[in-house]
Homo-oligomer: A and B are copies of this chain.
Amino acid sequence: MPYRHAAPKWQGAAYAEPVTGRPTLTQRRREATRLDIARTAAALFAERGVEETTAEEIALAAGISLRTFYRYFSVKEGAVAPLLAAGGQRWVDLLAESPADLPLREALERSAVASLTPADDAAVEAMHWTRSLLRDPRLDGTWQRVHAGSEERLRTVLAVRCPDGADPLEIRLAAAAATAAIRVALEQWAASDAPVTGPGSPQDLGGRCMRELTAGLRLTAGG
């Protein structure tokens, strides 16, 4: 059950992205609706369980039709993916922006810890949703899929930063191991009752995992 996410074809001339500034109004409205649905679904899933929540209920609660719901998310369980994937997205973005002369292992660790440090209320909220949602085994698939997406994007960024002749296997391994480290840190945190900051927090556990890992991975690129 792939997450096709009802990819709109922004290839038409009409909704072309303006050269300057951000995406068009329609695009932003669409993204807002997407997040609306995600929050609605998260609330229902956390309150009454995934199994006991129908796609129609989510749609109705979000003020849209069932058919439209499936245009935003091709799978019911995937409706909460935007909340679960936000951190991972930030991670690869930060890594891509980090200074090129920084040793790769350092860049990886710093960006990971930074992405696990909630920057605003939305990030704190997303972490709490993560903790709630991870209690439902029916979202395991979504959780795995989200990290598979992170892993792939991370692989791309790593490939850019690494010397041209880098072994693809090494890159894949580094991306997979690093993603697994973040996942483990989040799972461990979610299973505990630690707050989002301080000892036992995601950035604490994540930092420990990443250090444990990068101490051995031969990521010799960079400074």
Given A140-B145, A144-B141, A212-B217, verify A176-B169 contact (CB < 8 Å). Answer: no
Q: Which of B145, B179, B216 contacts A217 (CB 8 A)?
A: B216
Given A2-B137, A2-B138, verify A172-B188 contact (CB < 8 Å). Answer: yes
Closest approach, in angstroms, between the C-beta of A156 and any C-beta of chain B? Answer: 15
Chain A count of residues within 8 A CB distance of the other chain: 35
- Find chain B residues with CB under 8 A from A218 CB: 212, 215
Asked if A205 lies at the interface with its beta carbon under 8 angstroms from chain B, I say: yes
Asked if A34 lies at the interface with its beta carbon under 8 angstroms from chain B, I say: no
Asked if A187 lies at the interface with its beta carbon under 8 angstroms from chain B, I say: yes
B2–A177 CB distance below 8 A: no
- Find chain B residues with CB under 8 A from A172 CB: 184, 187-188
Asked if A90 lies at the interface with its beta carbon under 8 angstroms from chain B, I say: no
Q: How far is the CA of A218 from the CA of B218 in the complex (A)?
A: 15
Closest approach, in angstroms, between the C-beta of A135 and any C-beta of chain B? Answer: 13
Q: How far is the CA of A1 from the CA of B139 in the complex (A)?
A: 8
Asked if A198 lies at the interface with its beta carbon under 8 angstroms from chain B, I say: no
A140–B188 CB distance below 8 A: no
Within 8 A of B (CB), among A129-165: 137-138, 140-141, 144-145, 148
Closest approach, in angstroms, between the C-beta of A153 and any C-beta of chain B? Answer: 16
- 6 pairs, CB–CB < 8 Å, chain A vs chain B: A1-B138, A141-B145, A169-B185, A173-B180, A177-B181, A215-B216
Closest approach, in angstroms, between the C-beta of A218 and any C-beta of chain B? Answer: 6
A188–B168 CB distance below 8 A: yes
Asked if A213 lies at the interface with its beta carbon under 8 angstroms from chain B, I say: yes
Q: How far is the CA of A176 from the CA of B173 in the complex (A)?
A: 12
Q: Which of B140, B145, B170, B188 contacts A2 (CB 8 A)?
A: B140
Q: How far is the CA of A138 from the CA of B74 in the complex (A)?
A: 13
Closest approach, in angstroms, between the C-beta of A112 and any C-beta of chain B? Answer: 13
Q: How far is the CA of A138 from the CA of B75 in the complex (A)?
A: 12
A184–B213 CB distance below 8 A: no
Sorted nearest first, the 3 A-B pairs with minimum C-beta distance are A216-B216, A176-B180, A144-B144
